[in-house]
Amino acid sequence: MTDRRAEAVAVLARNLGHEFRNPALLEQALTHASVGEGAERDARGRPFLDNQRMEFLGDRVLGLLVADRLMRDLPSADEGEMSSRLHALVDKAACARCAEALGVGPAMRLSPGEAKQGGRRREGVLGDAMEAILAAVWLDAGIEAARVVFEKAWAQELAAPARKSLTNPKSALQEWALGQGRPLPTYRIVERTGSDHAPTFTVEASVAGYAPLTAQGRSRQDAEKAAATGLLQREGVI
């Protein structure tokens, strides 16, 4: 680990407020899948483990922690209201904002190519790493430790006014466009980066008469949904 990155990892650990008994868990959570494409090895000559499996677990850990918090914070809310609030708190954009505030980007281990392409600032990369970090804390010290990190990392998101979440943002954008007397929205892939097994898509959503908006996702569909949501938010629809 370079001195600069080691310093960034130390800063991140302080910001998390969790002292890892097994620091290798945090290191794995910060290792992007692109690293596995190169020849980089750990001190024992083994390939670095990336954070994809941890991201899978962390997604579920986050969902549980958010659901538990909402049950306590919204005692009178119905299932629909809580579901909408949950989706807004666990979506990739929210995870990326939390990661950026904690300083996850500079602490990440990326391939030279991914780093050169701006991976340390990429929403999908940061969001996945944030979920992986929650999983790492869970594996290191259990649910209560993960809850402490979640409460700290998501403090601003939890305090912010509820963001409306859409089950199908592309349909919502289509309905809005037609309501404005415009043709159906169009989508185009602006860029595809990353490896075949961990790609990142940048997609542009356009509605005639309005400035287009671009967003990223782990799949073309995810990127299209993110772009549709962003356009609706920018125009004040949601």
131 has catalytic annotation? yes
| Among the listed residues 5, 15, 217, the one whose alpha carbon sits nearest the alpha carbon of residue 133 | 15
Catalytic residue among 50, 55, 128, 131: 131
Catalytic residue among 27, 59, 123, 157: 59
The greatest distance separating any two alpha carbons of the chain, rounded to the nearest whole angstrom, comes to 63
Q: Residue 186's CB: how many other CB atoms inside 10 A?
A: 12
3-state secondary structure of 169: helix
Answer left, alpha or beta for residue 45, where phi above 0 means left and psi between -120 and 50 means alpha: left
Order of strands, edge to edge, in the sheet holding 199-206?
A: 186-194, 199-206, 213-217
59 has catalytic annotation? yes
Q: Which residues are catalytic?
A: 59, 131
